[in-house]
Structure 1
Amino acid sequence: MLAYKVTPQEFQQIVTSSDVIYNTTTFCELNKKKVDYIDYLIVKKDESPRFAVIFGVKDSQASCPFSAPFGTLLPLKKSSSVENYDDALSAIDIYASDMGLKKIFFRIPPIFYEVNALTALVSSLFRHGYEVHDVDVNYAFNLYDVYENYDSIIHYNAKKNLRIALKSNLELQICNNEEDIISAYNIIAQNRSCKGYPLRMTQDQVLETLSVVAHDVFIVQHEGQGIASAIVYHVNDKIAQVIYWGDIPGVTHLKSINYLAYQLIQYYGAKGCQYLDIGPSTENSIPNYGLCDFKESIGCERSLKFAMEKCI
């Protein structure tokens, strides 16, 4: 196989569909200022395109993704064998050597996004000399399981908290304008500031991203005040991803996050989504035990999310 660079327009013509919004030229072009340049690569066998990948290159490191929760090597054929993945990574090695790169980095989606493809990719990366940089524990609701059976799946304390929330006169607002979206963002900012967590996207960056990504934004209202919010991307037709969620200080007794989780399950379950991804509860592989316990208590499943790198 041979890896070769193409223009964003050529990439779009070859990669006519993507299972993940982060693997699209539209999303990557929005964030291109964060790297020195972007390489859109097609890996072909003979004259047949077999794989595609987008690297952001900065300081001689090629990263997939370069500004997203994850990215991947995209198979362009429905049945790509483990040998095909091996051949594709060998072609990418030659590309990296020819370009004088010092390192290649992959942060791939949680395994549940595409079990067969991602299992083959992790295996091939490992055997091609990639070292494990991080193994994060990701959490998601399997909506096919929890949508109509939520009360029987969640833990006792989560049931109790949901009962409190449902008696607290909370209401879910779907944000339909920029002013409401900014209000939702400000709730998240208060939450992160109170807990000492980083908020990696500015308000302007969030608004720019929402202009190119299908999304939903929600606010939980209590007596006319927004007390919790969530920003959700439609990663693909079957998976929605909570990018940010949180409540403001001083309202934990209302259990607004339990309420928000329940309402999001109902909302996306009714739309026929299979998963609601609410992200990792680890930072650089180190778990936040309280966050792990909370996500498990409200019905989430665990899944591994690998980051792997290779020095050239």
Structure 2
Amino acid sequence: MEGAIPNPPNARIAVVTGGNKGIGLEVCRQLAGAGVTVVLTARDETRGAAAVEKLREAGLSDVMFHQLDITDAPSIARLADFLKARFGKLDILINNAAIVGVEYLLDPFDSSPTSEEKFSGMDKRQRIEWLTSVVRGTYDAAREGLQTNYYGTKHVIEALLPLLQASSDGRIVNVSSEWGLLRLINNEELKQELNDVEKLTEARLDEVLDTFLNDFKAGELEARGWPEHFSAYKVSKVTMNAYSRILARRHPELRVNCAHPGYVNTDMTIHSGPLTPEEGAANVVKVALLPEAGVTGAFFEDGEEAPFV
């Protein structure tokens, strides 16, 4: 489903993956409010169309919906074809769609007032401890997490790269996490290898992910230096950060950066995060709208450049 909206000839065009709720929806709202034409994407057509309608009711008319499942190649191809025919370019790609890569033991969609009261008085560490206690890591969930967060995002980037290159100021913002920092890897040799972006290759990242899954299946995560809790999510973000740096070196004409929105109150965190979706989205949008010819291949936390380690 696409909306037919007129666009000024010099309008910036943005695609936001996972845009129907939470941080993604707020990123769409803030970009549209800044005068950017936004293509809000989501797997579910009904929810995606409803999200666009919600934004339009708020007076943001330059928003349209297009279905996208980042794990489905034909879905990605349809989006690329639409963008090429409709705009001929893409200025901003925000890769927000992701999953946690664990099984929830509670309903992640419970945003009742009682759930908010539950976390009052808890500091960040206590909230994370609670979140860790209500999920369970399984091999199938971990594999799905990597397929979505790393490979799905990578395939979207590859498909839309020609359109970003057709822009005079193409930008990619990969929504990352402090859980994607290299300090979470307890294998010093691997940590150094992942930080050496001059030598690192995509093929090596594939090997790293295969090794992780093999170690997960064998119950060897701790022994091999992988993070134990939310391990697939963390490894997917570590490798996406690394891929972003490879991409930035390969395509200096683009701005390719990673942005940590913070610990946000969303379904993904079972509403345990202290930040609002608006606050988290602002940290992403700030990176998306950096001045022309700005930094590339960088990690941003709280909207400011920070180390990958």
TM-score higher than 0.5:
no
What TM-score, normalized to structure 2? 0.29
The higher relative CO (CA closer than 8 Å, separation ≥ 6) is in 1
**Larger Rg over CA atoms:** 1
Which is helix-richer, 1 or 2? 2
